[in-house]
């Protein structure tokens, strides 16, 4: 793939307090979109606090594109119901990679950057980008929008395919 900067592995950990879309529960799954890429988790039947623990990998060619998280309730005989959405940008994550590449040799557990929850992002709490076991990772809780309740927990990890990120 031309102009690929690297791969972004999204570990979709779990959903918390998701909305009810069937009679007393939901059958949630997550769709991750970035540009023309679209990936999805498996359906978790009758579960408002699902634990997917699935890895989805995006090819990063345009780091300015937002990553969209869409949660749906699987309906077997009608259209799937929306259960909320969230959006985040990977700019801070890529900046942390550049910082780590410049500094090098960071001790395990070093916090490279903190992103505060605000009205400009979907974070429900502070998110830290950390040097962990030789990798840069970011844990985040995203507050779902356009729905009465729910959060999704993710972990981002950069997979370098072309050498240190320099731009």
Beta bridge pairs of residue 46: none
Lowest-pLDDT choice from 82-86, 100-104, 150-154:
100-104
Using 50, 70 and 90 to split pLDDT, how confident is the model at 164?
A: low
Using 50, 70 and 90 to split pLDDT, how confident is the model at 2?
A: low
Looking at domain 6-159, its CATH architecture is: Sandwich (2.60)
The whole-number pLDDT of residue 163 equals 59
Total H helices, total E strands in the chain: 1, 10
Q: Between the CA of residue 60 and those of 21, 77, 109, 131, 134, what are the distances in Å? A: 33, 36, 25, 20, 20
pTM: 0.91
The whole-number pLDDT of residue 103 equals 85
- For the chain, the structural domain boundaries read 6-159
């Amino acid at each position: 793939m031309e102009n690929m900067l690297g791969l972004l592995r999204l570990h979709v950990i779990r959903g918390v307090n998701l909305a009810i879309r069937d009679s007393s529960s939901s059958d949630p799954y997550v769709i991750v979109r970035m540009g023309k890429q679209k990936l999805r988790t498996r359906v978790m039947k009758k579960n408002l606090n699902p634990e997917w623990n699935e890895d989805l990998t995006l090819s990063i060619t345009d780091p300015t594109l937002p990553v969209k998280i869409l949660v749906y309730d699987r309906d077997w005989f009608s259209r799937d119901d929306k259960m909320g959405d969230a959006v985040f940008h990977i700019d801070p994550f890529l900046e942390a990679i550049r910082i780590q590449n410049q500094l090098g040799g960071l001790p395990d557990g070093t916090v490279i950057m903190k992103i505060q929850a605000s009205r400009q992002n979907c974070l429900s709490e502070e998110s830290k980008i950390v040097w962990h076991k030789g990798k840069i990772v970011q844990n985040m809780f995203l507050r779902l929008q356009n729905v009465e309740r729910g959060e999704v927990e993710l972990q981002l990890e950069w997979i370098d395919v072309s050498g240190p990120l320099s731009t």
